[in-house]
A = this chain, B = another copy of it.
């Protein structure tokens, strides 16, 4: 089964529809909370059954869905930031103590608009690690030590992201990594309209680049929280949607397999991507700052 989405919440829907499951998938727990015009969905993968169904690791996947927020005013923005920040803080506090050092990793490619989310977020993170080391009196002693890097992408560095991050983690020894990346969604309306937080790590290039080895407890030795926003669609997604719209009959797996074999290796993104990614990166960075 090809999910063509990095969103656990979409994978659950797809799996349920494909397998005609009315209640809940075995090995999955899901809770949905409406907060005014946005929705928080908490998908929990409990065991191997759940892993196998969604092809994602055991752990928590929280989605904040703002598709229904028609006009993002400053007040609405504040609310989104606050909600995201609370959800993120909860997950962080499950793994480390209040004073433990955190490294933020902005994944993706600064120079390719839909892949620039991670790098843009890092630009607005409040960094404290160097102040705590070099000017300890200039900062409240309870402030958490926060550092941040933008490792770039395999195509421009020649180095696997995990190799770069592992080198830095080994050297500066943070207690937790928050990795921010662009994701791939199956739903055009979700583009820049959802935030996914998970505590199972992240696969760099899931959204736009080429998939690489994951950043996770297994590879880095410390917990990795993934924060992502869908910014692109899989090329197969628009082909299949076009086929549906045109009422052409097809076999889905067959189309996807043949597209992969024939290197349909494109970025597919809405035309207004540049405006929206600016806003969302601001929301994510403010939310992270607030949570830390």
Contact = CB atoms under 8 A, between A and B. Distances in A.
Interface of A: 74, 78, 81, 109-113, 122-124, 127-131, 145-152, 154-160, 163-164, 166-172, 208-210, 233, 235-236, 238-239, 241-243, 245-246, 248-250, 254-255, 258-259, 262, 264-275, 278, 282, 286, 290
A210 B271 contact: yes
A128 B158 contact: yes
Given A127-B158, A149-B152, A267-B269, 5 more contacts: A149-B164, A235-B238, A235-B268, A242-B264, A265-B270
Given A113-B112, A242-B259, A209 B159 contact: no
A264 to B, nearest CB: 6
Given A266-B268, A267-B273, A271-B265, A166 B171 contact: yes
A10 B241 CA distance: 27
A142 B160 CA distance: 22
A278 B281 CA distance: 13
Copies, count:
4
Contacts of A166: 167, 171
B113 A271 contact: no
A208 B272 CA distance: 10
B167 A158 contact: no
Contact of A151 (B149, B250, B264): B149
Contacts of A254: 246
Contact of A259 (B112, B245, B265): B245
Contacts of A264: 238, 241-242, 245
A246 to B, nearest CB: 5
Nearest to A111: B274
Contact of A167 (B123, B170, B246, B262): B170
A66 B239 CA distance: 29
A45 B125 CA distance: 42
A52 B84 CA distance: 55
B210 A74 contact: no
Given A170-B170, A242-B264, A156 B271 contact: no
Contacts of A172: 159, 163, 167
B149 A130 contact: no
A258 B239 contact: no
A124 B239 contact: no
Given A123-B156, A159-B149, A238-B239, A267 B265 contact: no
Contacts of A275: 155-156
Given A113-B111, A155-B275, A275-B155, A150 B150 contact: yes
Given A123-B111, A164-B168, A270-B267, A74 B286 contact: yes
Contact of A266 (B250, B262, B270, B278): B270
